[in-house]
Amino acid sequence: MKAVRVHSYGKRPTVDDVAEPRVTGPFDVLVQVGAAGLCRTDLHIVEGQWAEKSGVGLPYTIGHENAGWVREVGAAVTNVAVGDAVILHPLATCGLCGPCRRGDDVHCENSRFPGIDCDGGMADLLLTNARAVVKLAPGLEPAAVAALADAGLTAYHAVRKAVPLLAPGTTCAVIGAGGLGHIGIQCLLAMTAARVVVVDPSERARSLARELGAHEVTDSFGGSFEGAHVVFDFVGEQGSEQAGLAMTRRAGSYYVIGYGGSVNIPTIDLISTERNIVGNLVGSYTDLDELMTLAAQGKVTLHTRSYPLSAVNEAMDDLETGRLAGRAILVP
């Protein structure tokens, strides 16, 4: 089968012929990939930012936002059948550790993260397990939802945690209306009654934010939304970290979703204002299942551009240079 493989950090991946994965365990699920989202994390992987954290051996197949159709299942799988359209939770979890039993499977002690620490889904086939597959509602196609498996899930997870802080009359600020942020805006509008203010230097991104229903859109930090109850930073670098913290009010919360930069703040400033800094990493299986409900209801949709698997480096160029609005989807 064809697969997008990283052979050396600092060098773009290549599309190689590799052996097909096979079902060997009772809970294995083999998925024919219908679409794989391209994430900025994939750029960071190629750069080598994840090398130490993941410990993955090279070469390996990237791709952690995946959806498709069930090709084959292990003998104990009962929640999906061959032919079912599915989206894959990015983690393949054990179900037995403490976090899994509490429903906090994003912190599973025995998880695998296809596309990060083992072979991922930018390929014809991907092997995962029964705990990772969410059956799609009729009418939802893999290519329409694949990027929700990580980008959408991460945005939803952050908003879901912040819902208790966003009562009617509150204000939240969204930094970045691109591939992550445009999903977060939709989640906020669907799940809260807060006033949603979006900041993005790109006119194309601001236009999209207005189209999605943001209450206020601007190209610069500051202004009428200083003192937000919650700030969602979907950029996490290039100065958004300092601006995001500055935009929170006393006892406000700064939610970090994008990454690449650093948060530097004197501890006295945190305690004297009781501001909160909250990290967000993907989300639980339940989060993904709930997000698929919003997608089926048409309340969360993706703005995407599709590329054949062979054009992965063209897609990476478009993402890296800012030519891409929304999400890139690779279709095997």
Mean confidence (pLDDT) of the chain: 94
> Going by C-beta distance under 8 Å and a sequence separation of 6 or more, which residues neighbour residue 120?
36, 60, 61, 62, 63, 64, 66, 114, 126
Measured distance CA(3)–CA(31) in Å, rounded = 14
The pLDDT of residue 188 is 98
Cα 169 to Cα 78, 190, 214, 248, 249, distances in angstroms: 45, 16, 15, 15, 14
Among candidate residues 147, 4, 127, the one with its CA nearest the CA of residue 70: 127
Report yes or no: 4 and 309 within 8 Å, Cβ to Cβ: yes
**With 80 as the cut, is the pLDDT of residue 77 above it?**
yes
Instruction: Please report the domains of the chain, with CATH numbers, ordered by start residue.
Output: 2-147+283-331 (3.90.180.10), 153-279 (3.40.50.720)
The pLDDT of residue 61 is 98
Per the annotation, the verdict on 24 as an active-site residue is no
The pLDDT of residue 86 is 98
pLDDT-based confidence at 260, cuts 50/70/90?
confident
The pLDDT of residue 191 is 97
Per the annotation, the verdict on 304 as an active-site residue is no
Cα 56 to Cα 9, 45, 53, 113, 129, distances in angstroms: 12, 11, 9, 10, 19
Which candidate in 24, 44, 78, 301 is catalytic?
44
The pLDDT of residue 4 is 98
Cis peptide bond N-terminal to 114, omega within 30: no
Higher confidence at residue 70 or residue 180?
Answer: 70
Measured distance CA(302)–CA(109) in Å, rounded = 31
Give the percent of the chain with pLDDT over 70.
98
The pLDDT of residue 324 is 83
Q: What is the mean pLDDT of residues 4-13?
A: 96
Q: What is the mean pLDDT of residues 102-130?
A: 95
**With 70 as the cut, is the pLDDT of residue 100 above it?**
yes
The pLDDT of residue 223 is 59
**With 90 as the cut, is the pLDDT of residue 129 above it?**
yes
Report yes or no: 261 and 245 within 8 Å, Cβ to Cβ: no
The pLDDT of residue 225 is 60
- pTM here is 0.90
pLDDT-based confidence at 222, cuts 50/70/90?
low
Exposed, middle or buried: residue 295 (CB in 10 Å: 0-12, 13-18, 19+)?
A: buried
Which candidate in 24, 41, 182, 321 is catalytic?
41
Q: Which residues is 29 bridged to in the sheet?
A: 73, 128
* Side-chain-facing half-sphere of 4: CA atoms under 13 Å: 33
